[in-house]
Chain A
Amino acid sequence: MCRLVFAQIWQATTVIVDASNIADGTKLPADLCIIGAGVAGIAVALEFEHSRISVLLLEAGGVKEAAATQAFYDGDVIDRSLHPPLTRYRRCALGGSSGIWGGRCVPFDPIDFEARPWVPRSGWPLRYEDLLPYYKRASWLCEAGEFAYSADEAFPDGMPAILSRFRGRHFTDTTLERFSCPTNFGMRYRKRLLAARNITVLLRASAVELDEGGDGQSVAEVSVATLGGLRFSVQPRYVVLAAGGLEVPRLLLASRRQQPAGIGNAHDQVGRCYMSHIAGTIGKVSLPAAFGRPCHGYRTSDDGTYCRRRFALTADAQQRLGVGNFIARLHHPAPRDPSHRTGVLSALFFARPAIRFEYALRLHGHGKLSARDWLRHLCNVAFDLPDTCRFAWHWLRDHSLAERKFPSVIVRPKGGQYSVDFHAEQAPNPQSRVTLGTKRDALGMPKLVVDWRVTPLDMRTVREALAALKADFSQTGCATLEYDPDEVEACALRYGAYGGHHIGTARMSASPQDGVVDAQCRVHGMDNLFIAGSAVFPTSSQANPTLTIAALALRLADGLKRDLSVKLGCC
């Protein structure tokens, strides 16, 4: 009977199914079971569209975010000043966190894949060149256009420098960040998932345990639960765990029927080396009038993608300084401080309650503003009303109503002083980790405990890189950067683990002693269990992770196709 119900659903034309339609106790067969319908999960699923492989894509959330399913993510954070609540920066719904991301796409640099003696536990078991073909496809998949991440490639006719005559010894301004729409993978690719008869998406279906077969080397069953109390399972040939950087270790650690430490955790590596990025805004950048206006905003490439230059610490400089990867952008001054005299920034400060938590973080600050500062903000808006209105119109037209959204606020401060916005690599640290706590969620799954930590190397990366940037500016005379070196650490930690980048919790390694998955993203010691997503990154780079998540997912899917073609004679 159960099989009959599923068979009917399988053959139905609409193959996005709410799990409440599955009969309790059903065992669903699938060639490929993908757990998590975010960027990684959808990227893998789409690689199999219209093939003979039956794909079951499990998503714990629904089409839209809901409080009840979002609560699955709840957990404990050891130091709340350093890490946001676990329900923030993540989205339990079809499309996953792509429903809230900002769209920034940047590939990792070749040096990120290398073993760097000055960065402990660095080095990937694959090279940049191995990932390059997949980066090219991933860039289109993320709707960030061509894989043209240097100014020369993207703009053969020329792209203005951020600061004219900038020639850095440590930094280059030739690399680009490109911006996705930002694409919500759930909405964008729902039609393709629907059209593919071999793909079934089960919504509100939470994988709560991976059950190994008798040999302990393969996943025989994926146990699934719903908030309605249903329990059923999937019997897959292959499993791809694509549930995000925090849910991946949670499910591995919670699957301890045969291995008490959890699947893939024979060497106590699951959940360790949890990384994010170190980010902040610091200092005052003054620009001599003789050098003209800076070009710190966006240019549109031929494919319609917004692109932006930034200052990137070169590989040579990283080696010379013995630090991690680092980039910086020319940024407007902190909106909270009314001394910028810019109406747009003061208006942004007033608007912060209406801005989503994840993006309003930098608008908030510690302590109360004085009445005088409030008045100065009001004066900024009043005296700068034409510019403020122009900005409001630009934002409405080019961001709020546009399908390809203008990525961020770009203003020229009235005071002529900018700041430096930086984004730095966090080094792998086994003491920075996620573990299972004693509390349980509504489905009985143990909740996570996050103990995110920074290392002295992380702080040194920021300090040394900022000093190098200051030196580069002053060497060419195109700008001066002033900041208090004693404030660097406080500034770097003000936003804590930044941006919802959950990296390294099931890291890739050549040997099982050093990580959880191999270069093919297969869990060490397991035949049919793979992991897709930022959990497998051994290091974090300066780059936002989404593009690399998609590229690795495409590479993983290619490997799976090869495996399946051998085993099943199809694909």
Chain B
Amino acid sequence: MTQVAVEKKVLNENQILAEKLRETFRQNGIFCFNIISSPGSGKTALLERTLERLPKESRVAVLTGDLQTENDAKRLARFGFPVKQIITGGTCHLDARMVEKHLADWDLANLDTLIIENVGNLVCPTGYDLGEAFKIVLLSVTEGEDKPLKYPSIFFKSALMILNKIDLLPYVPFDAEKAKENARKVHPGMEILELSCTTGQGLDDWIRWLEEKRKSVMVPA
């Protein structure tokens, strides 16, 4: 009996495809990010508020994942940018193959931003690289401030935590400072923004954050 070393990532196939996507994005000058949260934390609302703030000539496109329905794509298509729904049919996360397939009939040379809204789930999307520049995790104040400790992987792997629905803070027993402290225990130095998609508070900071990130990750071709 012998032991032979394999030393491969379990999600090797996905990783290879994700690197290919990343290279495609780089060649086309596309800034891509992947938004992840529990169902109902406000991913789609954040994208609505984001898209409505962008100039009409922006070259942004959105892929939005759900188990069923085209509802989110319909909500987001109102802003006039290309939007495509990825219906996973039961799969709890997006993978690189789904992204590649749904990009097939878009002219990528015409885009400069690709937003991927993952399936509402704090666990399963974590391990699947989609070729994005970074992951962003949303947490809303109607959830528990211990979410980062209960679901550490996604908070560890995301560059930014957005604390959403802060307009509700006076009405819920959510300790925002504790939530931030928990996130930074899991991910030392994690960047955090607080905002409300209902009142608009914090949205300008979010748009500014995105522009700064774009500049820092996009190396001129």
Q: Is chain B found bound to chain A in the same assembly?
A: no
